[in-house]
Structures are given as C-alpha cells and as structure tokens.
Amino acid sequence: MTFLAIDAWWWPFVFILVAGWLATDGWRFLGVYLGGKMSEESDILVFVRCIATALVAAVIANLLVFPGGALADSPLALRIAAAAVSFGTYLAARKNILLGILAGEAVLLTGLYLL
C-alpha cells in the first residue's frame, strides 16, 4: 500500500490524510487535551526530540545522496561539497540560515553550469 499502489485520483489524498494529517494533528490535539500536564524539560521529551531529529536528518541525507529529478544528474561530490559549504557558512555567519542557503546554492549552481 504505497503512495502509487492504487490507481485512483482519491488514493493519494487518503494517503496524505492518514500519513500526514492524522500523524500530525493527532499530536497537536493531544497537546490541547493534556493542557499543562507535560513539561518541556522532561527526559522522555529529550528522547522524542532525538528520534525526530534523526528521522528528519535521515531524509535530508537521502535527498542529498539519492536525489530525484533534476538534481539526480549532478555528481555526488558536488552535492556534498555544496551542502558542506552551506553548513560551514551558516556556522561562520553566526547561524544565519539565509546566508547558509545562499552559499550552498551558489556552489551548486556554479558547479552545475561549469560541469
């Protein structure tokens, strides 16, 4: 039962509703219901944040190593180098996200147009 498993217009929307809406608003509604019963500092939340961070990091690494579409034609070394420059610039610019993104994109585009 993958995203493309059923060839009907409604199936992707059902997939998004269950895997997207239910899996996010479920937590938000639980948050309203629990009210003040949960603390931001509790140890279980450190665990929760660790798993969420590792999961999103895994998606990012997969997008860089096994990209789809137009990025798939670029060399892996260029993508890694651009990502590294982006992260380095972000740290050097005192955690400025926009500068980090611009630097990485500049490296990627330069590489793509030169190669």
Partner 1 sequence: MNRHGSPEATDREGRAVWFLRGVWRSFSIPGLVLVSAFIGFAGLAREAGLTLAQTVFMTGIVWALPAKVVLVGAVLSGNSLPAATFAVALSSVRLAPMVVALTPELRTEKTRPWVLYFLSHFVAVTSWVLAMESLRRVPRDMRTVYYAGLGSTLVLVNMAVVAVVFLVASRLPPQMSAALFFLTPVYFLTSLWGSARERAGHVAMVLGLAAGPVFHVLLPGFDLLAAGVIGGGLAYAWHRAQRRREFVG
**Burial label, 74 (beta-carbon count in 10 A; 0-12, 13-18, 19+):** middle
How is residue 44 written in tokens? 């279980």
By CB under 8 A, name the one of 8, 74, 81, 92 that touches partner 1.
74
By CB under 8 A, name the one of 7, 8, 77, 98 that touches partner 1.
98
Instruction: Report the nearest approach of partner 1 to the CB of residue 96 (Å).
Output: 8
CB distance 56 to 75 below 8 Å: no
Contacts of 38 (CB under 8 A, 6+ apart): 31, 45
Contacts of 104 (CB under 8 A, 6+ apart): 82, 83, 85, 86, 87, 89
Does 92 bind partner 1 (CB under 8 A)? Our answer is no
By CB under 8 A, name the one of 7, 70, 77, 92 that touches partner 1.
70
Find the binding residues for partner 1 in span 35-54 (CB under 8 A): 35-40, 45-54
Instruction: Report the nearest approach of partner 1 to the CB of residue 11 (Å).
Output: 10
Does 80 bind partner 1 (CB under 8 A)? Our answer is no
Does 8 bind partner 1 (CB under 8 A)? Our answer is no
